[in-house]
């Protein structure tokens, strides 16, 4: 894999409330990664204008994890499409009607706005949760079974793929095929701390297993030199690390 191909697969989580820091990180990482992920923390503090100001035209993964009644989620997806994301997500546990409404809203909004439709991705089981956590909230079976169940439902509802942990990549590829997009957080290089993630693997391992996009935050943004950390990961993905 070339460095260019490796970069395209790497999205960096900009998990901050501070606009100036987000802008600094985006500028530092420009040209070194495939895109930037913004979630609820930054969006709640800075709103759509903050994302536009921070991203500076870089490809966007809007990690908003919409989960509500179908009409509300459809409206939220339409609004989010004005930011022209490359990737947008909803909680697969919101159910069939909600996901189908979200998929239709993304298609309609993109046509109306005249730009490419984003990948609409379902969140299966958060990577901070393990089997014991699921049991505690009343979900039966191991996390891997819940991920597979929700992924199949998401695919049936017209979603492009799912967010999943590295450990579920192989099973999802077998169940959902090669065209189903797998966006994978919970990535930790061997030289970084695991933090609060419970189902993790290295970038190279996740890519080899079949991930389409790797989402990495603190191992890059939490270092004293985010550009160097990003380049180190790209080198590992390209087989030079």
Beta bridge partners of 183: 163, 213
* Residue 65 bears catalytic tag: yes
> Per this entry, what is the length of the chain?
241
Contact 83, 46 (CB under 8 A): no
| Cα(172)–Cα(178) distance, integer angstroms | 9
- The first and second tokens of residue 105, run together, are 């809203």
- With a CB cutoff of 8 Å and minimum separation 6, the contacts of 35 are 11, 12, 58, 59, 60, 61, 86, 87
Contact 219, 192 (CB under 8 A): yes
Task: Pick the catalytic residue from 40, 65, 181, 198.
Answer: 65
Listed residue (45, 58, 53) closest to 16, CA to CA: 45
CA distances from 219 to 11, 12, 42, 189 (A): 12, 9, 18, 7
Give catalytic residues, as residue numbers.
Answer: 65
């Amino acid at each position: 894999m070339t460095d260019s191909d490796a970069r395209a697969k790497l999205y960096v989580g900009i998990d901050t409330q501070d606009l100036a820091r987000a802008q600094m990180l985006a500028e530092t990482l420009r040209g070194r990664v495939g895109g930037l992920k913004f979630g609820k923390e930054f969006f709640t503090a800075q709103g759509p204008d903050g994302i536009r100001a921070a991203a500076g035209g870089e490809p966007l993964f809007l990690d908003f994890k919409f989960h509500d009644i179908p009409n509300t989620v459809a409206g939220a997806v339409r609004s989010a499409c004005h930011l022209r994301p490359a990737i947008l997500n909803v909680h697969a546990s919101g159910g069939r009607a909600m996901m189908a409404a979200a998929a239709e809203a993304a298609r309609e909004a993109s046509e109306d706005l005249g730009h490419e439709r984003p990948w609409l991705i379902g969140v299966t089981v958060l990577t901070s949760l393990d089997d014991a956590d699921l049991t505690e909230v009343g979900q039966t079976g191991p996390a891997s079974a819940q991920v597979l169940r929700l992924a199949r439902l998401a695919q049936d509802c017209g979603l492009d793929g799912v967010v999943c942990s590295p450990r579920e990549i192989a099973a999802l590829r077998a169940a959902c095929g090669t065209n189903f997009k797998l966006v994978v957080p919970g990535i930790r290089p061997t030289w970084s701390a695991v933090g609060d993630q419970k189902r993790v693997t290295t970038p190279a391992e996740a890519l080899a297993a079949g991930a389409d996009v790797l989402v990495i935050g603190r191992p890059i943004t939490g270092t004293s030199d985010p550009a160097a950390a990003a380049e180190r990961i790209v080198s590992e993905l390209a087989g030079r690390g």
